[in-house]
Amino acid sequence: MKVKKYLASTMKEALDKMKKDLGPEAVILGSRKISRGGLLDFLGKEMVEITATTEENVLSRKARSPGEQKPTGSRLSVTVGDQGPVPERRPEQFPKLVHDKLAASTAGLRISAANKPDAGSVRLLQSELRDIKNVVEEMAEQIRYQRMPSLPPSLKEIYKQLLENELDEGITVELIQQLYGRFSESEYTSPERVEKYLIGGITSLIKVAQPSAVREKGPLVLAFAGTSGVGKTTTLAKLATNKKFFGKNKLALITADTYRVAATQQLGTFSEIAEIPMEIVHSPRDMSRAVAKHKDKEVIMIDTAGGSQFNDRLIAELTRLLEAASPDEVHLVLSITTKPRDLMRTIKLFKLEQKVRLLFTKFDETLTFGSIVSVVRGSGIPLSYLTFGQEVPEDIELADPAKIAKLVVKNIF
């Protein structure tokens, strides 16, 4: 297979060179940015290199038997035509690319409802589908790494693992670029140095709130909000009984979760066992009264209703209740098992103001912790507590950025 390389200072120039040489039906096998020295140099001049061949070559590759090894170095093959440079390819273009591949590979098959396919055709179709699957996987892989085109393998592997640990791609790119830019080769190939650097970098991205402190005069009012089943009531119970937190203080509980009978019962049972007075409120007026009634307490904790489908009406209701309580802190309770995009959506939906903190639950239910970093950084809201089990009161602690950073890089080194 005749493979040629085209080097130029811009992608457009490289594409022009390639098209001039191989014609408009040229097929790009790969592209990367390189410095004149051979490796990506963040300070020096970058060049673009395209590896390409002709469509004829690709078609002859397709004609090989399924078991045959593909040539080493062969990458994704995509007809360029008028589609523009490969690195700028957007995910929404995928369906067309896959469709084109499918059309090309099934062109030789004649299967209709009236004409049952023979075993040979089915085998051919299966092998072509396998081929398409490989192409799609290669495409996904290339898109994933196109921001890190010519990293040394050790860093590329770390980059991949950080993404697998759910660290946001933008943050991962920043960290890896800093590592590559500042460290010498002997340093970035040393796992201890890299691990220490990453833990330090990730730690600095995690903002935490000042721990809640009981006031000299009047109660400290804490409210807990969030979608259903994330652990609001359990977390409140942990904080209310754990001696490291408010277990030693004079407390009152308020529940505004009157949507479900079981919800008030849950907190009611807890308040009986823990011997902490509890109020049930149905309106902002009830809320103000309940808070005023317990002004002699050191801490008042407010539980609110969760909803899987929070809508504007429910949020407005929650906001009015919280305004009436005038809490010192609102802990937006989020489960780490929720997808990062849904976490961000919840944060936006709740539109909670200044006093909000993010409280993450269910650390014991996941093996990947990167999402918390993106959510804290993306929202700009500090973390308060983390919970890691169902046991009351022990499975809770203050959020510690260095501990979280260690969890994010765990299993990489």
Helix axes 261-274, 232-241, angle to 10 degrees: 10
Shortest spacing between CB 199 and ligand GTP, in angstroms: 23
Residue 172's binding partner out of ligand GTP, Mg ion, none, with CB under 5 to 8 Å set by partner kind: none
Shortest spacing between CB 396 and Mg ion, in angstroms: 16
Distinct helix (H) and strand (E) counts, the chain? 15, 12
Distances in Å between the Cα of 97 and the Cα atoms of 64, 77, 89, 93, 104 are 21, 10, 10, 6, 11
Letters for 233-262 (x = contact with Mg ion by CB under 5 A, - = none) are: x-----------------------------
Kind of pairing between the strands at 278-280 and 251-255: parallel
Distances in Å between the Cα of 10 and the Cα atoms of 16, 34, 48, 207 are 10, 11, 6, 40
The residues binding ligand GTP (CB under 6 A) are 226, 228-234, 257, 263, 306, 361-362, 364-365, 387-390, 395
Shortest spacing between CB 374 and ligand GTP, in angstroms: 20
Shortest spacing between CB 369 and ligand GTP, in angstroms: 13
Q: What are phi and psi of 111, to 5 degrees?
A: -125, 130
Q: Which helix (H) or strand (E) holds 334?
A: strand 329-335
Q: By the 8 A CB rule, do 10 and 40 touch?
A: no
Residue 390's binding partner out of ligand GTP, Mg ion, none, with CB under 5 to 8 Å set by partner kind: ligand GTP
Nearest residue relative to ligand GTP (C-beta): 306
Nearer to Mg ion, 266 or 379 (CB): 266
Q: By the 8 A CB rule, do 205 and 373 touch?
A: yes
Shortest spacing between CB 403 and ligand GTP, in angstroms: 15
Shortest spacing between CB 176 and ligand GTP, in angstroms: 31
Residue 164's binding partner out of Mg ion, ligand GTP, none, with CB under 5 to 8 Å set by partner kind: none
Could you tell me which stretch among 31-39, 137-145, 231-239, 243-251 binds Mg ion (CB under 5 A)?
231-239
Kind of pairing between the strands at 356-361 and 383-387: parallel
Residue 364's binding partner out of ligand GTP, Mg ion, none, with CB under 5 to 8 Å set by partner kind: ligand GTP
Nearer to Mg ion, 169 or 329 (CB): 329
220-225: strand order across its sheet: 278-280, 251-255, 299-303, 220-225, 329-335, 356-361, 383-387, 396-398
Nearer to ligand GTP, 168 or 257 (CB): 257
The C-alpha atoms of residue 128 and residue 126 are separated, in whole angstroms, by 5
Chain contacts with Mg ion (rule: CB under 5 A): 232-233
